[in-house]
Structure 1
Amino acid sequence: MAEKNMVMDVHEVPKISKWLIFSIQHLFAMFGATILVPALTELPPAVALVSSGTGTLAYLLITKGKVPAYLGSSFAFIYPVQMAMLSAESGIPGAMVGSFLAGLVYGLLALLIGAFGLNWLMKILPPVVVGPVIVVIGLGLAPTAIDMAMNYQGEYSGTHFSVAIVTLAITVIGSLFFKGFFGLIPILIGIIGGYLFGLMRGIVDTSGVEASWSAIANASSIGEFFGAIFLVPDFVVPFVHYSPFDVISWEIAAIMVPVAAVTIAEHIGDQMVLSKVAGRNFIKNPGLHRSILGDGVATVIASCLGGPPNTTYGENIGVLAITRVFSVFVIAGAAVLAILFGFVGIITAMIASIPSAVMGGVSILLFGIIASSGLRMLIDNQVDLGEKRNLIVSSVILVIGIGGALIKFDVGDVSIEIAGMALATIIGIILNLILPGKESGFGNGNMFQTDEVIEAATDEK
């Protein structure tokens, strides 16, 4: 692959002044989406920032510093995390155990890809399965977005809905018309604009921010001053705050583990896009097995801190495409800044003060984009829904996933429930494998079907 007007290569170290600016740009690009996930799942936003930073550093280490990718909170895990937290009233520990198990799946798949190549995985997860499942992810979260945008304490609120609509409008305008750096952060701009409008409408609780500023202003010593600025996030650590063996269950595993199939497919797509943008074949060098392992380790790290599962971020690929700055040192700088932000009390307080209506307004767009991305996968790969088997596979996935179908069964004294997206993914995979005409499930596009991708994954062992 040829380089495309590269400003800074993968291993180039930028000057200090540019380094900070480039890293802040990546941080802002992922900031809005990363704090949105913990806001929706009731996980600490500060922990999400710290876990995304540490996960990214681990990813860069595992991929030998060859892949300039930032990892942030995964939208695919929002609903499963919510369900895992409700499972047997396990709360955050239950979700973290489920995330840990999903991370182990990444590790297992990395070993299998390293040993046997990528062809077998593509057969299990063709676009006709992955596309509809991604649609389910987005549309399955739609009621959550509308509830946050429209309701307050369980009842309709015109004031909150107006804030959500203004937030949505700002985000849409930013996405369409902002250029350059501001065009990369429409989510963050939408949240800031909605926050300011919420202040005008009187729905923002600023008591936490005021208390933080007051503590800083009234500090009588250097020790108190730094103590008021820097606070330890609310980490939830296994064997410190809970015992995983008291929480783990087949039900939690059934909720969380199948989602890894979807996020792994998304990861493969991100690596293909990133390879095209950077003019490198990252699937061959350092190898898809390494990048998937890095993604899994990042998710395991997040689970051990109490943060949401991590995944590679399309927003940051957009930053790379526009700036042509591919330095992994810039990515590492953004990761370090994210960790530092997680320990700054005033930032944590400001994030906590964001009204649910603001997050609901942004979510209307983001969750719709997720669903549309699933449709785009079908279109880009030219999957023919005129083929009866493709129509059957996609239709069953959509109805089971969005309709909330579930299967319950008992294994001894243990009750297991597989529901929603997890059940839709499993049934979609099974249908695709048993119905005749599997080749049509790949479509006529080349995203999942190129010999180059398969050979690259097989050669790099």
Structure 2
Amino acid sequence: MKEVLGIRDVPKASSWLTLSIQHLFAMFGATILVPFLVGLDPAVALVSSGLGTLAYLLITKGRIPAYLGSSFAFIAPIISAVSLHGPEGAMIGSFFAGIVYGLVAIGIRALGLNWLLKLLPPIVVGPVIMVIGLGLAGTAIDMAMNNPATQAYSGTHFTVALVTLGVTIIASMFLRGFFSLIPILIGIVSGYSFAYFMGIVDLTPIREAAVFQVPDFVIPFKDYNPASVFSWEILFIMVPIAVVTIAEHIGDQMVLSKVAGKNFLKTPGLHRSILGDGVATIIASCLGGPPNTTYGENIGVLAITRVFSVFVIGGAAVLALIFGFIGKITALISTIPTAVMGGVSILLFGIIASSGLRMLIDNNIDLGEKRNLIISSVILVIGVGGAFIQVSDNLQIAGMALATVIGIVLNLILPGGATQQSVEKMFDEDFDNTDTAA
């Protein structure tokens, strides 16, 4: 299908806003869900998403039309970090996760990609992604079934959750075009409406909120001293997850390259893309928002509309920034019942787990081979079971972090591993890439 707007094309003023709003809606539901689940301010997440995307476009020289939003992979680690040292501790972990992105970008620039693929083959990344989704299953069910005021089972709340889930599934299955890309948003809106009629929505915060309001930023050296909340335990909880999200990032860039017909791994280079992702996460950590990552929902919008203009992506980022400072919108988000978010989360967390399974299938991983079976089994049980290593009184390596580390070690030491397939060929793949700037 022929592109409607190229990467550097500026849209007409009459359509620019509409095209950018499409991308805003595509990312909105998922981006506000993450801070909602971990206890951060959704308005900060919108602001950090917008700033992160603008930084990404700058670092990639305006040559990759990608939008960045809140990362689901960090939900459980953030919850753990917040329980240890509050939101400030989670921001420290996010900051160093962003530093890992930068180090990997430098390594790719200097050494190429094969070393990274040997470290993170599908047999490791797939099961870890499954752990991310399955590890959050209990959170989704608790939100769906329980009254948040009493933490006891509530038939009303569970009914709201099931209606929300049902609408989200129907939207995913039967809607077409752009609406097929925003089932999360449709589910949340429908569930919210149903919850209102069920009497569990309080609109008072919306009426009392100011039109314009500064988000609840958490800024280092202003709101807290980073040295006072630094913890090695937080680093072990959060930093290893960056390894998994980097692998997902590479997959997103391959898909985006095929959709746009431009070899983004070669020009402007995967090292720039990963660096941009890392800088976006660092920006979020300095504001009090969750780590950022490239969004598959927005890649879907590009595939359908064939509008690849980075100016449209930049417009969506600016709109996200503006939304973050509108107090009425922030208040509206705060009134969404946990049952609504729980209903959506049942599907979303399941999709995350299924994505890990799909990675194994797509890469023809044979679980009949003992090596593959051992690696995947150990990762799954350690990650989902909540195993941990108590290094000291204040230092614990647990959950997804431990599962990731052990998976990497097993992959490196167990004999009989297949030779890692190089993706250097992606740098020479026959795309219609006329953009040759370095």
Q: TM-score, normalised by structure 1?
A: 0.91
With over 3 angstroms needed to count, the CA separation of the structure-2 counterparts of 1:460 and 1:19, relative to structure 1, is closer
With over 3 angstroms needed to count, the CA separation of the structure-2 counterparts of 1:77 and 1:311, relative to structure 1, is same
Distance 2:409 2:311 in 1: 43
Q: Which amino acid is the alignment partner of residue 107 of structure 2?
A: L
Counterpart for residue 161 of structure 1? 158
Distance 2:81 2:422 in 1: 35
Distance 2:125 2:287 in 1: 29
**Is residue 431 from structure 1 mapped to residue 404 from structure 2 by the alignment?**
no
Distance 2:299 2:363 in 1: 20
Counterpart for residue 224 of structure 1? none
Counterpart for residue 416 of structure 1? 395
- Structure 1 residue 455: Cα displacement: 6.7
Distance 2:263 2:395 in 1: 42
Distance 1:62 1:22 in 2: 23
- Structure 2, unmatched stretches of 5+, are 430-435
**2:266 and 2:427 in contact (8 A); partners too:** no
Counterpart for residue 345 of structure 1? 327
**Is residue 239 from structure 1 mapped to residue 195 from structure 2 by the alignment?**
no
* 1:294-336 Cα shifts (integer Å, max 9, x gaps): 0000000000000000000000000000000000000000000
Distance 2:31 2:341 in 1: 12
Distance 1:340 1:438 in 2: 50
Counterpart for residue 96 of structure 1? 91
Distance 2:89 2:14 in 1: 43
Counterpart for residue 221 of structure 1? none
Distance 2:276 2:212 in 1: 29
Distance 1:434 1:381 in 2: 21
Match of 2:186 among 180, 189, 199: 189
**1:84 and 1:95 in contact (8 A); partners too:** yes
Distance 2:78 2:427 in 1: 33
- Structure 1 residue 449: Cα displacement: 4.0
Distance 1:368 1:253 in 2: 27
Distance 2:378 2:195 in 1: 41
Distance 2:6 2:319 in 1: 21
Counterpart for residue 146 of structure 1? 141
* 1:237-281 Cα shifts (integer Å, max 9, x gaps): 000000000001110110010000100000000000000000011
Distance 2:389 2:437 in 1: 40
Secondary structure class of the residue paired with 1:234: coil
Match of 1:122 among 111, 117, 139: 117
* 1:79-113 Cα shifts (integer Å, max 9, x gaps): 000001112xx100000000001000000111111
Counterpart for residue 195 of structure 2? 198
- Which aligned pairs between 1:298-313 and structure 2 lie closer than 5 A? 298-313=280-295
Q: Which amino acid is the alignment partner of residue 16 of structure 1?
A: A
Report the number of matched residues: 430
**Is residue 105 from structure 1 mapped to residue 100 from structure 2 by the alignment?**
yes
Distance 1:100 1:344 in 2: 27
Secondary structure class of the residue paired with 2:218: coil
- Which aligned pairs between 1:78-97 and structure 2 lie closer than 5 A? 78-87=75-84, 90-97=85-92
With over 3 angstroms needed to count, the CA separation of the structure-2 counterparts of 1:460 and 1:432, relative to structure 1, is farther
Distance 1:449 1:83 in 2: 36
Distance 1:438 1:240 in 2: 50
**2:57 and 2:64 in contact (8 A); partners too:** yes
**Is residue 452 from structure 1 mapped to residue 425 from structure 2 by the alignment?**
yes
With over 3 angstroms needed to count, the CA separation of the structure-2 counterparts of 1:137 and 1:7, relative to structure 1, is same
Counterpart for residue 178 of structure 1? 175
Distance 2:379 2:437 in 1: 34
Q: Which amino acid is the alignment partner of residue 247 of structure 2?
A: A
- Structure 1 residue 75: Cα displacement: 0.1
Counterpart for residue 38 of structure 2? 41
**Is residue 137 from structure 1 mapped to residue 132 from structure 2 by the alignment?**
yes
**1:35 and 1:48 in contact (8 A); partners too:** yes
- Structure 1, unmatched stretches of 5+, are 213-227, 443-447
- Which aligned pairs between 1:203-352 and structure 2 lie closer than 5 A? 203-212=200-209, 228-352=210-334
Counterpart for residue 60 of structure 2? 63
Secondary structure class of the residue paired with 2:389: strand
With over 3 angstroms needed to count, the CA separation of the structure-2 counterparts of 1:450 and 1:117, relative to structure 1, is closer
- Structure 1 residue 389: Cα displacement: 0.2
Distance 1:166 1:47 in 2: 29
- Structure 1 residue 427: Cα displacement: 0.1
Counterpart for residue 29 of structure 1? 26
Q: TM-score, normalised by structure 2?
A: 0.96
Distance 1:366 1:24 in 2: 23
**2:122 and 2:363 in contact (8 A); partners too:** yes
Secondary structure class of the residue paired with 2:403: helix
**2:263 and 2:427 in contact (8 A); partners too:** no
Distance 2:424 2:437 in 1: 14
- Structure 1 residue 451: Cα displacement: 3.8
- Structure 1 residue 438: Cα displacement: 1.9
* 1:151-196 Cα shifts (integer Å, max 9, x gaps): 1131000000000000000000000011112111110000000000
Distance 1:452 1:325 in 2: 27
Distance 2:286 2:228 in 1: 15
- Structure 1 residue 450: Cα displacement: 3.6
Distance 1:198 1:210 in 2: 18
- Structure 1 residue 362: Cα displacement: 0.1
- Structure 1 residue 19: Cα displacement: 0.7
Distance 1:107 1:451 in 2: 20
Q: Which amino acid is the alignment partner of residue 142 of structure 1?
A: A
Secondary structure class of the residue paired with 2:366: coil
- Structure 1 residue 415: Cα displacement: 2.8
